[in-house]
Chain A
Amino acid sequence: MDNTYLIGAIALAALMTYITRVTPFLFFRKKEPSAIIKYIEWNMPVMIMVILVFYALKDVKWDIYPFGLAEIVCIIIAAFVHVKYKNALLSIFLATIAYMILIQKIL
């Protein structure tokens, strides 16, 4: 990866992140945001996150051994641990360790 690509991408990502954070301070200092904006802000993030889970799985070869088994098992681990203990770090840690062991040693 060349430096121009990396620097350009990082600069744009930084700008976009700042824009998402500063926008409400610029536009809604006096008036309330409209209902549709609130509706999108409430509901879009969860959809983005769910789609990102599938995006992260886009390179899994479902028709070749081990048929994405490690991914499915470890997503279930992450979800189960998170629903039970509500500790993001623990869920991520356990699922990742399980995944590394599965693909390196078992499957």
Chain B
Amino acid sequence: MNLFNIFKMTIPIMMGYIPLGMAFGLLLSKLLIPWYYAFFMSLFIFAGSGQFLVLTLFASQASILEIGVATFLLNLRHSFYGLSMITTFKHFSWKKHYLIFGLTDETFALLKTNDIPEENREKAYLIITALNQSYWIAGSVIGAILGNILPFNYEGIEFSLTALFVVLSIDLYNKSKLHKPFLIAIIIGFVGMFVFPPAKMLILSLSVAALVLILFKKSLDHG
């Protein structure tokens, strides 16, 4: 397994991460945040929808605590990825912490679907994760810098976030065994949009959703 073969595997991720990273960077520059924050966010957080979410929360001046809770809830799905990686990573050295850190949706999908021979796995996985993160960082920094120097009317670019959420909703719906949580969330979101104060809408709606999910587990599980 040489470097070029590994690089070839990551090309689909590159095609996704660079444009999406650029959209993230453009959005960041629209909020008048300096470009190097795009670099640090992509270096230290490395979560696509999570970073978009942080930007939305920046825009509405959410508190730091709210940002923490919201990113935690949004990225909860990643702990599911970890569950199915425990045996794979078991015999890796301490370097596996970088693999765990870099377990995004796309990296997970790639690590789950490759056929790298076992003796090369740790090294190949590390290179894959590092390449993926470098695409993401490159895209977001390019976007943030472009947003500052190109005199283009970017009004409406923030819709990429809404569209991302729509797309991820559909993907997750297709993957889930139960359909009711999806429908219930539509009702909660719709009602919450009108009933809850805008600044607290996310946290209140998510709490209601979690409560409904737990309280009605029995009827949701069987239908």
A residues within 8 Å of B by Cβ? Answer: 1, 5-6, 8-25, 28-29, 33, 36, 39-59, 70-71, 74-75, 78-79, 82-83, 88-89, 91-93, 95-96, 99-100, 102-104
Q: Which 6 A-B pairs have the closest CB atoms?
A: A54-B189, A24-B82, A100-B156, A50-B185, A45-B77, A47-B185
Stretch at the interface among B119-127, B142-150, B174-182: B174-182
| Complex contact A92–B20 (CB within 8 A) | yes
CB nearest to B199 among chain A residues: A58
Convert B176-215 into 0s and 1s, putting 1 for each residue whose CB lies closer than 8 angstroms to a CB of A: 1110011011101110110000100110011001100110
Interface centre among B19, B168, B178 (most CB of A within 10 A): B168
| Complex contact B167–A78 (CB within 8 A) | yes
Q: Complex Cα distance A88/B160, Å?
A: 11
Knowing A9-B58, A17-B47, A89-B20, the reply to whether A39 touches B221 (Cβ < 8 A) is: yes
Convert B55-96 into 0s and 1s, putting 1 for each residue whose CB lies closer than 8 angstroms to a CB of A: 011100000110111011111111111110110010000000
| Complex contact A52–B82 (CB within 8 A) | no
Knowing A44-B209, A51-B189, A56-B165, the reply to whether A96 touches B159 (Cβ < 8 A) is: yes
Interface residues of B, CB < 8 Å — how many? 93
Which residues of A have CB within 8 Å of B118? Answer: none
Which residues of B have CB within 8 Å of A14? Answer: 44-45
B residues within 8 Å of A by Cβ? Answer: 15-16, 19-20, 23, 31-33, 37, 40-41, 44-47, 49-51, 53-54, 56-58, 64-65, 67-69, 71-83, 85-86, 89, 97, 100-101, 103, 153-157, 159-173, 176-178, 181-182, 184-186, 188-190, 192-193, 198, 201-202, 205-206, 209-210, 213-214, 217, 220-221
A54 partner, pick from B45, B53, B89, B193, beta carbons under 8 A? B193
User: Can you name 23 A-B pairs with beta carbons within 8 Å?
Assistant: A9-B57, A9-B67, A9-B68, A10-B40, A21-B78, A21-B81, A39-B213, A39-B221, A40-B210, A43-B181, A46-B176, A48-B185, A51-B189, A52-B74, A53-B162, A55-B193, A55-B202, A56-B165, A78-B163, A78-B167, A95-B160, A95-B166, A104-B153
